[in-house]
Chains A and B, each alone.
Chain A
Amino acid sequence: MSDQARVLKFQIFRYNPLKMGDKPRMVTYEVTEAPGMTIFIALNEIRETQDPSLQFDFVCRAGICGSCAMVINGQPDLACRTLTANFAGGEITLLPLPGFELIGDLSVNTGKFMRAMSERVESWIHDLHADEVNYDALEERMDPDVADEIYELERCVECGACVSACATKRMRPDFLSAVGFMRLARFALDPRDKRTDDEFYEIMGNDDGVFGCMTLLGCEDYCPKDLPHQTQIAYLRRKMALIR
């Protein structure tokens, strides 16, 4: 590394819909790069020293909670774990995640979308006898491999990168999207969930569901957790196609 720290140039989308007369625009900020600097660190520095009105969302800042997905130089990713050193030119353009309601600047309302998604796919164990379980007794056994496979699909952090990278979602506003399919695949795999394939069909067996997917697979390309979207969408499609 050279002795002279780089000066990074951030182009950031600014717009506060709640501020009368505010217009969407790009604003440039300069930040002196520090070793190990992430976009999380840089954005906080901008907020603290240059513009205290800048809106963005971080929670865990460790790539775990899924709060901070944004479009970084054209590609959706988690900002907290993106090192500024990855950008050789030192120019970084930040846009809010498309496909979600804009709160302001880089902050979007993924929470509202994800809650609606969870309600739509009924993202919970369906078992009429679930409330009769005796928790004093040994738990129901589960094959260790099945537990591991469920965990594999459970790793989604609802960051919304898949939704923002989805061309089908752009054309079909009510498209369930990969995050919803992954959740359904997770419950379909879970022996504790007693839903039948027919019941799953009711949720996703249409063009806003798994049959609407154009298989451009932006979800597969941009999932920060490398979840197997392609395989799971194919699996759900086959499962649904075999029903009727």
Chain B
Amino acid sequence: MKVIYTDSLVIGGGLAGLRVAIASMQRGYDTIVLSLIPAKRSHSAAAQGGMQASLGACIKGDGDDEDVHFGDTVKGSDWGCDQDVARMFVNTAPKAIRQLAAWGVPWSRVRGGDREVIINGEKVTITEKHEAHGLITARDFGGTKKWRTCFTSDGTGHTMLYAMDNKAIQLGIPVHERKEALALIHEDGVCYGAIVRDLITGELIAYVAKATTIATGGYGRLYSVTTNAVISEGIGTAIALETGVATLGNMEAVQFHPTAIVPVGILTTEGCRGDGGLLLDNDGYRFMPDYEPEKKELASRDVVSRRMTEHMRKGKGVPSPYGDHLWLDITLLGRKHIEKNLREVKEICEYFLGIDPVKEYIPVRPTQHYSMGGVRTNATGESPTLKGLFSAGEAACWDMHGFNRLGGNSVAETVVAGMLVGEFVADYCGANALNVSTATIAHFLKKEEKKITDLLVRDFGENPFALKAEMQQIMMDKVGIFRNGPDLEKAVEELTVLNQRARHIALRNRISSSNPELVEAIRIPKMIKLAQCVAYGAMLRTESRGAHAREDYPERNDKEWLKRTLATWPDDSTDLPDISYEDVDVMKMEMPPGSRGYGVDNIIVHPDAEKRMAQIEEIKKANSAADRFELQQLLNPTPIPEKFKGKNERIGRGYK
């Protein structure tokens, strides 16, 4: 039995995982990162448009601060988020971005003086402050009151990931590449690491650790068309589920991005619209202002995706052999701007569509993009039910996104959560001794060994590629942007059958070392379980909130559904997850539920909403001398680690 011991085991080498690893290494704990691929190739690299942080240096960000960012994030989440976590996040984001600046990210900077931009389809001249010259600038993104999304052209994720991985290399953090975690080792409610398969040799290795962090990204590949990388299959999330102890949160909360290219589903950044691009229909008509007079193309993603679908259903889509689509027009931004700030988009259009977006419209359609759901954690990033198991980034339901994530808040979450959760991971490593018997380790290793042996000896059975395709099609057809009871029931039924079939996979290529078919066979049962959590959770949630839109329950029902879905998988022989709920407590909210200011206002109010509002007014009145920081402490005290508690400086405003 090969066993590798460490203090902090991080599964996933993207931005969140690397940042957690850096934190535990800097605190003096032995750290290992596991990754399916070289870390710099992680899906974080595909984030194009930017990272939200309320620096307020560019003129259109003037007046921005943590409070405005908080409000946007909560509204974006359709009040589904954990407001403690959203608070921790917005307060720390400026520090995270400044740290990344020191670590080498070449953030685009403010250039003092006049510049021409496109706002609402018109050329406008704005004047940047000379005193802000050289500070980090920002662009406009959907669902935000201020220009807050900091960027490096449209390769923001790339530069962030390179800086982060370079920092990890500087610290000598080992990244064990081409390794896949197959199961978590746990006993009596404590996690002790993972059983890991070497994807080249096929060897099984037990990585035994005090703290284990899952940072494996989202589960977009449950759908046949997604913007996500091919490795975004949710396997980290699934191995947490398979413990039977850890819970997954809000798995039905799946985001569809308005502008992926047709048919392959590759993303064109929200920055296209943030920088002034427009959505047009089959008549070349700009339709979004008719639906969303206030935010137009820059409402939140869930809203824009629904409006686009609505418009196509009215027959206004552009027909193509791959179904209807709409147009994204960035021609009005001009060649210079596109070649500087939207160059990835230009490359993608040239290579995959054979068009020049400087002159031609881009065919786009809403496409699966982001997983708000994931491993449920408390505010410190630890699973409330499985001690020593942490999660950060898209893999987690830390829950700053609720039922819809804002553009630019995802890479921001990865580095902020990495920073904060990393400290709590280090605290955990300091406070706990590693105390696990080798018999327990061997038990988990043998279990995985047996599963693989069974696959390698079975003569006849299911084809893993076919099972995957069927699952992806069910999710596409029945668990998409608009959902309804009958379709969801059917999806749940069909996925349950697939789950049973997935217990009888047989391989054509029966070798235990490097073997793509075996990899697929190991992952498929896990993916189907996740798909069942998504579909079943969606079926049971009889309301519409954020990205979860039920045609048969169009209202946001705060009265009955202001709660988070929790899924567990009791044991391998069961056909469906156990679903339970935890309340999102209105009486603790800094910002009680209300209208988002975009999308359809259709709310069944929570009985406590008014009560809490009145309470907040009273607190404000009783503390009329309190500044915004003191007031926030009174309304929403949050567990931010001491070293990140400082106030953030802004140009022209100081630390106020």
Residues of A participating in the B interface, judged by any CB pair closer than 8 Å: 16, 18-19, 35-36, 38, 47-49, 51-55, 57-67, 81, 83, 103-104, 107, 110-112, 114-115, 118-119, 122-125, 127, 130, 133-144, 147-148, 150-151, 154-155, 157-158, 190, 192-193
Contact = CB atoms under 8 A, between A and B. Distances in A.
Contact of B649 (A83, A122, A138, A140): A138
Contact of B514 (A16, A48, A62, A63): A16
Nearest to A61: B230
B516 A67 contact: no
Contacts of A147: 106-109, 152
A142 B649 CA distance: 17
B149 to A, nearest CB: 16
8 contacts: A16-B513, A38-B264, A47-B465, A47-B516, A55-B516, A64-B158, A124-B166, A150-B106
Contacts of A38: 264, 352
A159 B97 CA distance: 27
* Residue among A18, A47, A55, A66 having the largest count of chain B Cβ atoms under 10 Å: A18
Contacts of A18: 200-201, 513-514
Nearest to A114: B38
B181 interface: no
B1 interface: no
Q: Which 3 pairs across A and B sit closest by C-beta, in order of nearness?
A: A111-B38, A141-B134, A52-B517
A113 to B, nearest CB: 9
A76 to B, nearest CB: 16
Contact of B109 (A19, A62, A125, A142): A142
B340 A60 contact: no
Given A118-B169, A151-B152, A52 B465 contact: yes
Given A62-B348, A81-B351, A138-B650, 9 more contacts: A52-B509, A52-B517, A65-B40, A83-B354, A111-B41, A125-B104, A136-B648, A138-B135, A139-B97
Nearest to A158: B40
Contact of A60 (B46, B102, B104, B351): B46
A166 to B, nearest CB: 20
Nearest to B92: A135
A111 B263 CA distance: 31
A6 to B, nearest CB: 17
A124 B43 contact: no
B37 A59 contact: yes
A62 B46 contact: yes
Nearest to A132: B102
Contacts of B155: 64, 151, 154-155
B646 A136 contact: yes
B516 A52 contact: yes
Given A57-B37, A141-B133, A115 B169 contact: yes
Contacts of B94: 135-136
B111 A124 contact: no
Q: Which range holds the interface residue count of chain B?
A: 35 or more
A171 to B, nearest CB: 26
A190 B515 CA distance: 43
Nearest to B228: A60
Contacts of A64: 45-46, 155, 158, 344
A36 to B, nearest CB: 7
B648 A112 contact: no
B423 to A, nearest CB: 14
A38 B348 CA distance: 13
Given A65-B45, A103-B514, A192-B102, A114 B40 contact: yes
Interface string B496-512: 00000000000111010
A48 B507 CA distance: 12
Nearest to B47: A64
B321 interface: yes
B647 interface: yes
A60 B43 CA distance: 7
A154 B162 contact: yes
A58 B46 CA distance: 13
Contact of B169 (A47, A59, A112, A119): A119
B129 interface: no
Interface stretch (B170-178, B304-312, B323-331, B430-438): B170-178
Contacts of A135: 94-96, 98-99, 102
A130 B103 CA distance: 8
Nearest to B464: A52
Contacts of B516: 47, 52-55
B352 A144 contact: no
Contacts of B42: 59, 65
A37 B522 CA distance: 28
A124 B264 CA distance: 35
B266 interface: yes
B651 A138 contact: yes
Contacts of B263: 36
Given A53-B516, A67-B37, A151-B155, A58 B230 contact: yes
Contacts of B340: 148
A19 B513 contact: yes
Contact of A125 (B103, B135, B137, B465): B103
B159 interface: yes
A96 B103 CA distance: 34
Contacts of A35: 321
B151 to A, nearest CB: 10
Nearest to A35: B321
Given A53-B509, A59-B230, A144-B134, A136 B647 contact: yes
B178 A53 contact: no
A22 to B, nearest CB: 10
B465 A48 contact: yes
Nearest to B507: A52
A142 B41 contact: no
